[in-house]
Amino acid sequence: MYLGSYTTRVLYLLTLATVFICLLCSTSFVVHGEDESTGPEQNAFYTLISGSDTLISGSDTLISGYFLSDSELLCSNSSVLKQMERNLGIISKEEIENKEGREENVTVYVHLFPGTDVEVLASCSRVEEWDKDTRTAAVCVKPESIEELSSLNGVRSVQPAISPVIRKIDRGEKELFSPWGFWKQGGLTGAGIKIGIISDGVEDLSRAVELGALPDNVHVLSQGKGTEGTVILEVVHEVSPGAELYFHSAGSNKLEFNRAVDALVAEGCRIICDDVGWPDEPFFEDGVVASHIKKVIESQDILYVSAAGNDAGRHYQGVFFDNGSGWHDFSSGTSPSKNICADIPQGEKMTLVLQWNDSWNSSENDYDLYLYDRFSGEELAASEKVQSGTGTPLEYIKYTNREEDAQKVRVSIKKHCGQDRMLEVYIYANSSVKIQPDNLVEEDSVFGHPAVPEVICVGAVDSRNPENRGIASYSSRGPVSIYYPDYELRNKTDLSGPGNVKVSGTNGKNSFFAGTSASAPSVAGIGALVWSICPEKNSSEIREILCSSAEDLGEPGYDTIFGHGSVDSSTVYLLRDLYTGNSLSSEKTGISLSGAKGLFTLKIFIPLEKICSVAKLSSGEK
């Protein structure tokens, strides 16, 4: 292995001696977490055996070995011990079990110091994408070459590439869903507007075309893997059947996603809609994706619509609260239940992502993430990166229950060194994994590019009860806490749409499509109808029309649950009847202006003056 400078080699030898002595002389235990179990103190040697940092490339494989430069080894004596033992090559049970299925290459993000040429990475990896603004490269590398990659001159840090999250709810024939059928074109089609969709894939597109669910002229720039994109295209097409449709897959890394956005813009798409989340984007600042989309919106005048996420019921946020032994109390001292607990059926997977509010790539507060059996106290998985000044404030676990029975587990966080920070956790699993509600936090569960102020972030309305519509229990909600470069509290979400819609399904049978993946394309389609009526308006004005005309739900006025309200087609038909070359025409509607005010207020729940103001109609014409 690479030992770097003379000083590091000396530290290495001292560390080996220390580990050997510790093994011979002492073993200590400490009670932590839930009352029902005890577990070993998480000293360096024991945590290393049970798990380490993870690297993935769109698979279930866990690859050991996140390596830092010599300067990063100097956080503290304990951090040196922790990192050097990790370099000994000891891997976790999960990794051993998955060894035979390990892919030849993994994808990682490499952050370079200023002045370093990306070509330096070519000696031991293949550069897939490069972002010069953030000096970040997405590279493919063999697991055994990661140490060499991280030791190259000019490499600041290496970070695992975590697979994207597609923001959908399980589909199927479910009677509890009552889908919204609000699209009634009535001559409005969205013609002249190009809409670009980004999702996992459109592998069943040909079947959808064959069944008549989609036209035969969908422009596929990158097919991807999966079928979510096909369903989203169908939703948009149902709402705005005259719009020209484009698709690009999200890709397997964040820089590839940015390239997808650029490709759709280059094709002339005025509206872009996605249902993709990147758990390795910063939660407390704008990352490489958010910054890129913000730049594109400002320079290209596009309407960008993104699903808020389905994370309200699998999210936690709170300041580190020491339970007395260095472990985090998720209840902040208010409950006997100190952790987040879940039940994982046999064969099911659960992904945990922890971040805290340190500046990205500059974290010097070191937290570690663990998954334990709730009753035996056995450590099932761990993520223990070293943060010593140039690391990312991120820990990540992907776990599969390979036992014969369901496992009852708990999530635990330990502060290895540093100050108390704001912690944020997301838990990703399918609906068969039961996450206990204790200590979960619904608020501030929007992250990444949907949190960009210029992006229309769309939540989901629960359509099970059309007479009393509330927010869907899973729908992510704001506000969003941003700490860098300066603290701000962003108002999210922006709008809401139907959380369940009926689609044709490529099997020829109607099925239900649920989640913010359904609500976002519904809003994008309505946006296309509005823009086709008002083609001279810019994206900011179209956004203003959508927000100002939304049906207010929840608390009066804007709120961080529904946003400005629920978008439907009422606004579109009102504008069609009112908007004729920047003038109101009573002849067209056949209704006097004095009589129209009350009628239109009743239809869309807002005063006519407000719509006229949004449409930039002169006051004399109202």
Residue corresponding to tokens 């609500």: 519
What does the block give as tokens for 502?
Answer: 């009926």
Do 19 and 157 lie in a common domain?
yes
What's the confidence (pLDDT) of residue 282?
Answer: 97
How far is CA 303 from each of CA 15, 255, 520, rounded to the nearest angstrom? 55, 21, 12
Stated as kind and residue range, the H or E segment containing 10 is helix 6-25
- List, for residues 74-120, the tens digit of each pLDDT value: 333 333 334 433 332 222 333 334 444 445 788 999 999 999 999 99
Do 374 and 460 lie in a common domain?
no
Do 18 and 156 lie in a common domain?
yes
Other Cβ atoms closer than 10 A to 116: 17
Q: Which residues contact 81 (CB under 8 A, 6 or more apart)?
A: 15, 18, 19, 44
Whether 327 is in a domain gets the answer yes
Do 10 and 45 lie in a common domain?
yes
Which of 409, 435, 461 is the last residue in one of the domains?
435
Residue corresponding to tokens 């449409």: 615
The burial of 535, by beta-carbon neighbours within 10 Å (0-12 exposed, 13-18 middle, 19 or more buried), is given as: exposed
Task: Number of helices (H) and strands (E) in the chain: give both, helices first.
Answer: 15, 30
Do 545 and 467 lie in a common domain?
yes
Do 473 and 391 lie in a common domain?
no
In degrees, to the nearest 5, what angle opens at C-alpha 362 toward C-alphas 356 and 367? Answer: 40
Whether 571 is in a domain gets the answer no
Do 216 and 301 lie in a common domain?
yes
- List, for residues 239-291, the tens digit of each pLDDT value: 999 999 999 999 999 999 999 999 999 999 999 999 999 999 999 999 999 99
Other Cβ atoms closer than 10 A to 594: 8
Do 302 and 320 lie in a common domain?
no
Residue 220, Cα to own-chain centre: how many angstroms? Answer: 24
Whether 596 is in a domain gets the answer yes
Q: Using the predicted structure, report yes or no on whether residue 391 has a pLDDT greater than 90.
A: no
> With pLDDT > 90 as the criterion, what percentage of the chain qualifies?
61
Q: Using the predicted structure, report yes or no on whether residue 70 has a pLDDT greater than 50.
A: no
b/e per residue 12-30 (b: at least 16 CB within 10 A): beebeebbeeeeeeeeeee
Other Cβ atoms closer than 10 A to 147: 17
Whether 420 is in a domain gets the answer yes
Backbone angles phi, psi at 159, to 5 degrees: -130, 140
Closest CA to 571 of 470, 477, 497: 497
Helix, strand, or coil (residue 40): strand
pTM of the predicted model as reported, rounded to 2 decimal places: 0.79
Please tell me which residue, 106 or 369, carries the higher pLDDT value: 369
CATH of the domain at 72: 2.60.120.380
Which of 530, 549, 568 is the last residue in one of the domains?
549
What's the confidence (pLDDT) of residue 455?
Answer: 98
Whether 558 is in a domain gets the answer no
What's the confidence (pLDDT) of residue 580?
Answer: 45
Please tell me which residue, 99 or 372, carries the higher pLDDT value: 372
pLDDT band at 347 (very low <50, low <70, confident <90, very high): very high
Residue 256, Cα to own-chain centre: how many angstroms? Answer: 15
Q: Using the predicted structure, report yes or no on whether residue 476 has a pLDDT greater than 90.
A: yes
CATH of the domain at 453: 3.40.50.200
What's the confidence (pLDDT) of residue 472?
Answer: 93
How far, in Å, CA of 368 to CA of 327, rounded? 10
Do 475 and 545 lie in a common domain?
yes
- Mean pLDDT, rounded, for 340-353: 96
- List, for residues 288-334, the tens digit of each pLDDT value: 999 999 999 999 999 999 999 999 999 999 999 999 999 999 999 99
In degrees, to the nearest 5, what angle opens at C-alpha 296 toward C-alphas 292 and 299? Answer: 135
Do 41 and 135 lie in a common domain?
yes
How far, in Å, CA of 41 to CA of 24, rounded? 17
What's the confidence (pLDDT) of residue 473?
Answer: 93
Whether 574 is in a domain gets the answer no
How far, in Å, CA of 251 to CA of 261, rounded? 11
Strands (E), 12-168: 29-30, 39-40, 106-112, 126-131, 136-141, 155-160, 165-166
**Amino acid in the structure at residue 146:** I
Q: Provide the residue range defining the domain that includes 114.
A: 6-161+314-435
Do 13 and 142 lie in a common domain?
yes
Q: Which residues contact 238 (CB under 8 A, 6 or more apart)?
A: 183, 501, 525
pLDDT band at 613 (very low <50, low <70, confident <90, very high): low
pLDDT band at 73 (very low <50, low <70, confident <90, very high): very low
Strands (E), 401-499: 407-417, 422-428, 434-435, 456-462, 470-471, 480-482, 488-490, 495-498
- List, for residues 184-220, the tens digit of each pLDDT value: 455 788 999 999 999 999 999 999 999 889 999 999 9
Stated as kind and residue range, the H or E segment containing 93 is helix 93-97
Do 339 and 418 lie in a common domain?
yes
Backbone angles phi, psi at 213, to 5 degrees: -75, -25
Q: Using the predicted structure, report yes or no on whether residue 375 has a pLDDT greater than 70.
A: yes
- Mean pLDDT, rounded, for 345-374: 96
Tally the domains of the chain. 3
Q: Using the predicted structure, report yes or no on whether residue 52 has a pLDDT greater than 60.
A: no
What does the block give as tokens for 246?
Answer: 């484009």
Q: Are 523 and 546 in contact (CB under 8 A)?
A: yes
The highest-confidence range among 13-17, 150-154, 509-513, 617-621, by mean pLDDT, is 150-154
Whether 440 is in a domain gets the answer no
Helix, strand, or coil (residue 176): coil
What's the confidence (pLDDT) of residue 467?
Answer: 67
Poorest-pLDDT segment among 442-451, 510-519, 555-564: 510-519
What's the confidence (pLDDT) of residue 512?
Answer: 79
Q: Using the predicted structure, report yes or no on whether residue 50 has a pLDDT greater than 60.
A: no
Whether 167 is in a domain gets the answer no
Which of 381, 415, 435 is the last residue in one of the domains?
435
